[in-house]
Amino acid sequence: MTARTGPLVAGIDSSTQSCKVLVVDADTGAIVREARAPHPDTTEVDPQRWWDAWTEASSGLLDDVRAIAVAGQQHGLVALDGDGAVVRPALLWHDTRSAEAASDLVSEFGGRAAWAKAVGSVPVASFTVTKLRWVADHEPDVAARIERVLLPHDWLTWRLLGGRAEPVTDAGDASGTGYWSPAERAYRHDVVSLAFGTQVALPRVAAPSEVVGEMDTGAVVAPGTGDNMGAALGLGARPGDVVVSVGTSGTVFAVHPGSVADASGTVAGFADATGRFLPLVCTLNAARVLGATAHMLGIELDDVDRLALAAHPGAGGLVLLPYLDGERTPNLPDAAGSLHGLRRDTMTPENLARATVEGMLCGLADGLDALRALDVDVRRVLLVGGGARSAAVRQAAPTVLGAPVTVPEPGEYVALGAAKQAAWALAGTAEPPEWPMRQATVLNCVDDDAGERIRGHYAEARRAVFGG
């Protein structure tokens, strides 16, 4: 147990895969206790399973906790009736059945530029607004019962308050729905009507450090946020920092002082958890690609590292387009992965492992370029997530991303960000607490020639399959 100097706060990361709980010293950010419990591996789930996981993970952890906040997976649709009961399993961000609905909505609202201007983002299948349309089109009897819509973190926060208080959300998570405008700081009810055919009750958007209620234990509850916003807060990211997160999905996001509107749809113009903005690029396929390659080769995940490090940069010309579960950026929900450059001399386990690492990173590098194109300042790249633990990913990242990379000490930064928000609400200060930066490794080994070659081959393979 870590020594404490201040009151204790708790941060919850309710992710796609699990519920993680950190109990943290509010003065120093030091982790005092932690636990986790798994979530079902599916694209739709009964929200009660999140509550069960939270109950399991938090058991015995919270007796002396003074404040708490939830950071959760973005975009999910939690549909409630007038009594607050869940009317269908929650549709999660990586459920792509609403791809056609997304395309229809883009056209009906006047195209990509109109969407970007209205809500900062062009909706894809991940966004909540597209799931609303899908339910309205495919489950009309269910849709008729829906009176309120929440996001996953909103629902958990509401349950922490006993299901009695007015449901709340925050600007960060609301900005990922497709019907809340970061620039206007307001819901677009016309978009809700377009998607669903009628209005539904939506959670109040609370201020970043607002106390929104109390638990039965007396601990105050902060509004919470989305997982990417929580990670930025936990890392202490500032303007000029770009976070590249290699988790279940891959994300590239930056703390930015102004709102952005990318008519191409590559960059989502989200808000962050502090009152600033968080332009973000998301790929569906990140660390899971490494696991899929390990499974295909019949080896352990650590062996993927060993093989990839034994191959030369560029994998002898072997290229993997890693769209194993369709893709969000680029918007290819029905795509499949593919290998290119197969020759007898390139068809080795070492080259396949290397191509897996480089293909995954190339998608993230495209995201970094998209942020730069919107004049987002890129001074420091922070590499985080489970995939950042990979030695091969660390070796290849500076070259493929084309920039020096800082790798913070591995940690649960989403939960840590939620804990920081809880500490902020408890303190009632103008800005969130300043917690010491954790130990970090700086990787400066950028090989520009190899990077251009790798990314050039990747772009050629993508054009050959998808055109453009």
How many degrees, rounded to 5, is the angle at CA 174 between CA 169 and CA 177?
135
Give me the DSSP letters along 36-89.
EEE--SSSEE-THHHHHHHHHHHTTT-TTEEEEEEEE-SS-BEEE-TTS-B-SP
Q: What is the layout of strands, in order, in the sheet containing 250-254?
A: 268-271, 277-283, 250-254, 241-246, 380-384, 405-408, 440-443
Let me know if 227 is a catalytic residue. yes
Residue of 227, 241, 272, 325 with catalytic role:
227
Residues counted in the chain: 468
CA dist., res. 423 & res. 428, Å (int): 9
How many degrees, rounded to 5, is the angle at CA 78 between CA 75 and CA 84?
150
Per-residue burial over 334-349, b = 16 or more CB atoms within 10 Å of its CB, e = otherwise:
ebebbbbbeeeebebb
CA dist., res. 425 & res. 212, Å (int): 9
Cβ neighbors of 86 (< 8 A, separation 6 or more) are 46, 47, 48, 78, 79, 80
How many degrees, rounded to 5, is the angle at CA 46 between CA 193 and CA 165?
65
Cα–chain center distance at 116: 19
Cα 280 to Cα 49, 187, 252, 374, distances in angstroms: 28, 20, 6, 11
Q: Return the closest-CA partner of residue 250 out of 287, 215, 278.
A: 287
CA dist., res. 380 & res. 407, Å (int): 10
Per-residue burial over 256-280, b = 16 or more CB atoms within 10 Å of its CB, e = otherwise:
beebbbbeebbbbbbbbbbebbbbb
Question: Phi, psi (5° rounding) for residue 342?
Answer: -75, 120
Q: What is the CA radius of gyration of the chain?
A: 21
3-state class of 298 per DSSP? coil
The catalytic site residues sit at: 227
